[in-house]
Amino acid sequence: AHSFSLFLLLLPCSSYSTLLGWMESPGYPRGYLPHKSLNWTKCAPKGQTVSIRLIHLDLENSQDCENDAVKISSKGNLIALLCGKRDYKELQETVNPLLFSSPGGCLTLLFHSDYSNTERHTGFRGFYTLQDFNECEDEQINKCSHFCHNFLGGYHCSCRHGYQLDEDKHTCMVGCAEDLSGLKRGDISSLSWPEAYAENTNCKYTLSVEDNLQLELHFSEGFDVEQSPEGDCIDELRIETHSETLGPFCGNKPPPSPFLTHSSHVQIHFISDGSGTNKGFNIHFKTRGNVCRPVTSNSNVTHLKEEYHRGESVTVTCDLGYVYIYTEGTLSGPEQYGTTCQSNGAWAPMYACEIVDCGWPDLGRDSILQMVNPEDQNTKYGSRMQFYCTSKFYTLEGNDTSTCNADGEWTRMPNCNEVCGMPEPSSTARILGGKVATLGEVPWQLFITRPKFGAASLINDQWAVTAAHVVNDIPRESIQLYGGLIDTTTISRTDVSPIPIEKIIVHPSYRGALPQTNYDNDIALIKFTSKVKLGTNLLPICLPEVNRGVMEGEQGTVSGWGATFQDSNWNSTSDVLQYVDVPVYSLTKCGNTPSLYSKAMSFTNNMFCAGGKGADSCKGDSGGPFVSPMLSSGVGPHYLIGIVSWGAPCVRGGATGDKKGYYTKVENYVNWINEIKKNEAGS
């Protein structure tokens, strides 16, 4: 009875408190036994909290309460871990103030005892209550602008006289909407002017007059709208016309007076936040006859003035990089037009000067040249676009960026040029001084099998060069050309296809009548129907510089599938690509030409000759490359110095005699080759 009377004296004196019940450990107060437990949870309704008040605690004491313990938690978070003995005063002052839930939350109490106790402990006792939570005392919950009223399970807001509660049920605001349509003169002020305007204001004033008039606004002195120290508008005044929104205006500097709206219909919108003691604004409005404003959006006009009256005309010229648009499309020619001021204050005709758009460059779906991050690119005037080559067998020529110019074209578009004259390092050792080439060692070498046996050299991904006498007077569709191989027996496989040929262009000065005594200008170009896919085994050879000069003693490499000197029958050819390093002979030695078909042969400045002891090009090598530096040097890039053209029968002199082959001097034809490629690209 004594304990119960003490409990009654400690009850909170709140009209909202309700005592709901007791809680105690098993066997209280006689003492709890080993291996006992209690799991208790209580949840509060919305707007209320549940709390626990312990009035007695006597448990076995242990480090970190690992033996016997009371654990109290809320939302899974431990708020109290208790063991040992606590007197009533300590429980009241240090423990019980922590044992409450959040509004609408739950409290959980867990008790457990271990396997034994050295002495008897009575356990614990307490009571739980549900109590209304006063939201009005909690600043994190109470968002009422003016007044907060607490009730059992919740709260509500109210406002001072002259304000109404906003839709959020918390904010007290002043809303006003005044339609002054038809008035040609009057005043508009913020509420309470010149006293401080109300917080949370949202006011809209509408002015409307005849179409042949415009509204003119005059701001009184004392303009004062709240502004941050950084100059940003906290509260703001906006002026909206049929064509634009002006503002926001704030601070102590009003818009210039008179403020010409150039409109017969105006809305003035003023909003404020929940703080500040600023005065606001006062506007006197009146009307005047319509005038037209200068046309200055992305353009300039002749005879620029502050305003124009009905009937006055100007010429509008779009700024650089802008064009004006008719309904049917963009006009060509100078981007300017004439326009006249109308009685309603509008210009007619009126066209918008819009920024030039170059559009996406037409690169083609399979183009090697591609844009960097196309999703981030802009195609408007002045924008820059970056490009790259998607294959390691190409290099970017020129700047990697292009700019959209005022004519709607991309300037300085880069090109992806083929990497030339640089064979990939081979994993198979080269046979130095030998004859047999490995795959990819001479990747520019092309093989012509029909109707004549010969060769050609790849100079880019769509062109090859050969000797004119190999392809002269032969229809392009009858020529079978292969690339990317060294063993000609593989062309019988189904997966090896000839390169489709679009056209053959023989040098116009070549004369090919038989019996031939002059192989001057023995050069021809082969254009493919489409670009070939470059790779390790198919790469172009570089063209030499014009007038580089072919020097006596210069070492080069000639390659082909022609007859070998060891053949007893010089009409036979090799199945596998052969190459040999040979030096260039002197002009004197080259001028001493052999005879073919019992005719003396001509030596011209468009030729050079080369050979050595048992080393030379031979029958079937015609059209193939003579490159420098020689392949065995391992130094690149390699250049196409000559094209196999003609020479004496290979078997003369045997395998050890001096050989001499004649080559078309490619440097003399580089300009012709480039001109043909340029013309074909533009056709």
Q: For residue 61, give the CATH number of its domain.
A: 2.60.120.290
DSSP label at residue 566:
T
Give the residue, 255 or 468, on which the prediction is more confident. 468
pLDDT confidence tier of residue 82, bands split at 50, 70 and 90? very high
User: Are residues 340 and 394 both part of a single domain?
Assistant: no
User: Are residues 405 and 541 both part of a single domain?
Assistant: no
Residue 543 has pLDDT above 70, yes or no: yes
Q: In this predicted structure, what is the pLDDT of residue 350? A: 85
The per-residue pLDDT for range 199-215, each reduced to its tens digit, is 888 889 999 998 888 88
The CATH number of residue 334's host domain is 2.10.70.10
When mean pLDDT is compared across 147-161, 163-177, 322-336, 561-575, the lowest value belongs to: 561-575
**Residue 145, domain member (yes or no):** no
User: Are residues 598 and 495 both part of a single domain?
Assistant: yes
Q: In this predicted structure, what is the pLDDT of residue 12? A: 42
When mean pLDDT is compared across 277-286, 405-414, 571-580, the lowest value belongs to: 571-580
**Residue 151, domain member (yes or no):** no
CA of residue 235 relative to chain centroid, distance: 38
User: Are residues 388 and 452 both part of a single domain?
Assistant: no
Q: In this predicted structure, what is the pLDDT of residue 502? A: 94
Rounded percentage of the chain residues whose pLDDT exceeds 90: 45
Give the residue, 326 or 269, on which the prediction is more confident. 269
The H or E element that residue 6 is part of is: helix 2-9
**Residue 428, domain member (yes or no):** no
Between β-strands 282-289 and 445-450, what pairing exists: parallel, antiparallel or unpaired?
A: unpaired
Beta strands in 255-393 (DSSP E): 259-260, 265-271, 282-289, 299-301, 313-318, 322-326, 329-330, 336-341, 347-348, 353-355, 369-371, 384-389
User: Are residues 538 and 459 both part of a single domain?
Assistant: yes
Residue 99 has pLDDT above 60, yes or no: yes
Q: What does the block give as tokens for 167?
A: 């839709």
CA angle 244, 246, 247 (to 5 degrees): 150
pLDDT confidence tier of residue 425, bands split at 50, 70 and 90? low
pLDDT confidence tier of residue 515, bands split at 50, 70 and 90? low
Residues making up the binding site: 60, 68, 114, 116, 132, 135, 150, 154, 226, 235, 273, 275
Residue 573 has pLDDT above 80, yes or no: no
Domain count for the chain: 5
- CA distances 499 to 480, 533, 578, Å, are 7, 11, 22
**Residue 121, domain member (yes or no):** yes
Q: Measure the N-to-C terminal CA separation of the chain; round to a whole number of Å.
A: 115
Residue 561 has pLDDT above 60, yes or no: yes
Residue 653 has pLDDT above 70, yes or no: no
**Residue 128, domain member (yes or no):** yes
The per-residue pLDDT for range 164-199, each reduced to its tens digit, is 787 788 888 787 888 999 898 999 998 888 888 888
Q: In this predicted structure, what is the pLDDT of residue 332? A: 47
Q: In this predicted structure, what is the pLDDT of residue 572? A: 59
**Residue 303, domain member (yes or no):** yes
User: Are residues 265 and 241 both part of a single domain?
Assistant: yes
User: Are residues 598 and 528 both part of a single domain?
Assistant: yes
**What average pLDDT score do residues 212-234 get?**
91
The burial class, CB within 10 Å (0-12 / 13-18 / 19+), for 470 is buried
Q: In this predicted structure, what is the pLDDT of residue 555? A: 93
Q: In this predicted structure, what is the pLDDT of residue 142? A: 75
User: Are residues 177 and 34 both part of a single domain?
Assistant: no
Q: In this predicted structure, what is the pLDDT of residue 429? A: 33
For 88, list phi and psi in degrees, rounded to 5.
Answer: -65, -40
pLDDT confidence tier of residue 11, bands split at 50, 70 and 90? very low
Give the residue, 175 or 300, on which the prediction is more confident. 300
DSSP label at residue 209:
-
Residue 394 has pLDDT above 90, yes or no: yes
Residues spanned by the domain of 412 = 369-418
Q: In this predicted structure, what is the pLDDT of residue 609? A: 94
C-alpha–C-alpha distance, residues 453 and 377, integer Å: 51
User: Are residues 487 and 559 both part of a single domain?
Assistant: yes
Residue 492 has pLDDT above 80, yes or no: no
**Residue 294, domain member (yes or no):** no
Of 214-228, 323-337, 492-506, 586-600, give the range with the top mean pLDDT: 214-228
Of 418-427, 430-439, 615-624, give the range with the top mean pLDDT: 418-427
Catalytic residues: 469, 522, 622
**What average pLDDT score do residues 610-617 get?**
69
**Residue 386, domain member (yes or no):** yes
User: Using CA of residue 178, residue 181, residue 183, residue 185, what is the dihedral sign?
Assistant: positive
CA torsion, ordered 298, 304, 305, 307, to nearest 10 deg: -50
Instruction: Please indicate, yes or no, whether the overall pTM of this predicted structure exceeds 0.75.
Output: no
Instruction: Output the average pLDDT for the chain.
Output: 84
The CATH number of residue 531's host domain is 2.40.10.10
DSSP label at residue 427:
S
User: Are residues 103 and 21 both part of a single domain?
Assistant: yes
Residues making up the binding site for Ca(2+): 60, 68, 114, 116, 132, 135, 150, 154, 226, 235, 273, 275
User: Are residues 279 and 413 both part of a single domain?
Assistant: no
Q: In this predicted structure, what is the pLDDT of residue 323? A: 87
Residue 15 has pLDDT above 50, yes or no: no
User: Are residues 469 and 571 both part of a single domain?
Assistant: yes
Give the residue, 78 or 514, on which the prediction is more confident. 78
**What average pLDDT score do residues 274-294 get?**
87
